[in-house]
Amino acid sequence: MLIRRGPLLAVTALLIGGIVSAVSADTGNWTPHKYTFNFMGFTTTYSCEGLEDKLKVLLQMNGAGPEVRDIHVNAPCDRGLGRPDKLAFAYLTFSTLQPGSAADASPGEWRHVALAPRHPYQFDYGDCELIEQFRDKVLPLFATRNLKNNVTCIPHQDSGSNFRLSYDVFGTPAAKKP
């Protein structure tokens, strides 16, 4: 009986290589970021607290961390508490998990994120410009793939604006249910 080992060895090597790359793709390294987010909106204005809350939700959804307590958003109140400001800004301090392996690598996984009016419930049509600016300015700091971008913001109009943004982001594994 004649056994051809060449193709068998090649297939075995491909399978082992795939397993090794799958294992290394499930780890990552935390990269710290400090960013000043300048919001320039025509349709919606935010108070400092409102801008802070929305940005915290976006950072948490995208897996910033490694712990929720490691996310810091500070929007100084130039006009006073609770008063909307057309030129609102916030200082963001957070870390993102970037795929890769190192001695101190952390476990990670690709998770799907979807943003649309009322999904999650904190966002509505008036947040279109905020979503657009987060996508352009902050999202590139995260490891993402499979971006589906359908964001159309019409200044001064809630009715014509709409956003549907979805992608996969690399972050900490979700808690496993028993």
Distance between CA atoms of residues 53 and 66, nearest Å: 19
pLDDT at 163: 94
Question: Percentage of residues in the chain with pLDDT exceeding 90?
Answer: 56
The residue ranking higher by pLDDT, 171 or 77, is: 171
26: three-class secondary structure by DSSP:
coil
Task: Note whether 82 and 51 are within 8 A (CB).
Answer: no
pTM for the model: 0.79
Q: What is the mean pLDDT of residues 134-141?
A: 97
The answer on pLDDT for 1 being more than 80 is no
The residue ranking higher by pLDDT, 23 or 115, is: 115
Q: What's the mean pLDDT when you consider all of the chain?
A: 82
pLDDT in tens, 97-109: 999 877 778 899 9
pLDDT in tens, 25-35: 589 999 999 99
Laid out side by side, the sheet with 106-107 consists of 72-74, 89-99, 27-38, 106-107
pLDDT in tens, 74-87: 998 766 666 777 77
DSSP conformation letters of 31-94:
EEEEEEEE---SS--B-HHHHHHHHHHHHHHTT-BSSGGG-EEE---SS-TT--BTT-EEEEEE
Where does the pLDDT of residue 5 fall: very low under 50, low under 70, confident under 90, or very high at 90 and above? very low
Contacts of 151 (CB under 8 A, 6+ apart): 128, 131, 132, 135, 162, 163, 164, 165
Please list the residues that pair with 89 across neighbouring strands: 38
The residue ranking higher by pLDDT, 5 or 132, is: 132
The answer on pLDDT for 62 being more than 80 is yes
Task: Note whether 95 and 169 are within 8 A (CB).
Answer: no
Q: What is the mean pLDDT of residues 33-42?
A: 93
Where does the pLDDT of residue 90 fall: very low under 50, low under 70, confident under 90, or very high at 90 and above? very high
